[in-house]
Amino acid sequence: MIDLSYRIEDARAMNQTVFVTAPRLAEAGMRRLEQAGFRILFLTGSQDGAEVERVMAGNDVTAVIARTVELSARAIAACPSLKVVSKHGIGVNNIDVDACTRRGIPVYVTPGANAQSVAELTIALLGAAARKVAWMDREIRAGRWSRAEDGVQLAGRTLGLVGYGQVGRRVARVARAIGMEVRVFDPALLPPGAAESASDIIVAQSLAELLPVSQVLSLHVPLTPRTRGLIDATALAMLPLGAILINTARGEIVHQPALVEALASGRLFAAGLDTTADEPITPDSPLLALPNVVLTPHVGGSTPEALAAMAGGAADNVIGFLAGEPPDPSTCVNPEVLAKENHELC
């Protein structure tokens, strides 16, 4: 973490406003922003994109700490004072990054801040889906002693990871510890055909190579135009019969109607989903009627430890940028903006 204490007086003199697109921010982030003298605004009403637009149109917002509510091009255009956006996490699909780029506004993320918590929930969903934990819990509460004896033992099975960043690596370590073989596909991070000598993890050269051997498939990639709908009916049909799908990334990576069909038909044994295409999930979603689905409400990164790390990192991004000590360029999702700034300063 960058020591920004020597910049506090400079930041206080700025008298600038930070807008958090949520009703609250963890104490770790609040303390940093307050010490730096920023005025802090929060969402208080509908907590939707329209409220974000109203706040940004009615205030001289200098920086946004973006949570899960949409930060649209309209909201960005409504705020000529905006200089920097910092994502509370790493998924920027709810931020119009192109609109920021056109304005020369850098968008930073906080990589790794919630990785441990997301990885732990991934493992929890995997165990719950494999052993029908949610179904047995419901049965017991309904007065029935229904003992599922057809659960999946994970040792000896192959886990396929789509994405091998900080979350995927943590999941891989746990999976190997319980006796699973791990294979990964992530062209952005690993050379095709390579193997990690320290962990004996096999790297697939393509998704088509990974899917047929993945008795469990776990998703750990951001939502981009390339990954939207990546796991569609064709991909699901390539998985071994009786496979398990785990998604703690983004719901739109999976084609949801195809997933429902695969679960209902028995082609998939089960799914553990922390994220769905519609959030909150709609009351008429067919996922709710399926007994072989375990659902959580997008809380992978919502432990006190993860929230504190994300809040602190997001605040540091804002303070550092505005105080002339910008964060590591690798945490900026539109680095072309930084290159332009550097050129103009020359």
Residues forming the active site: 250, 279, 298
Handedness of CA 174, 166, 242, 276 (dihedral sign): positive
Separation of alpha carbons 311 and 346, rounded Å: 33
Q: Give the C-alpha distances (Å, rounded to integers) separating 314 from 61, 110, 220.
A: 16, 6, 21
Rg of the chain over Cα atoms, rounded to whole angstroms, equals 22
Cα–Cα dist 301/119, whole Å: 9
Among candidate residues 306, 307, 195, 174, the one with its CA nearest the CA of residue 246: 174
* Nearest Cα residue to 38 out of 21, 75, 63, 55: 63
C-alpha distance from residue 224 to each of 221, 320, 337 (Å): 9, 27, 19
Distance between CA atoms of residues 88 and 68, nearest Å? 8
Tell me the three state secondary structure of residue 244. strand
- Give the closest residue to 78 by CA, choosing from 107, 54, 42: 54
Q: In what order do the strands lie in the sheet with 293-295?
A: 195-196, 201-203, 181-185, 158-162, 216-219, 243-247, 268-273, 293-295
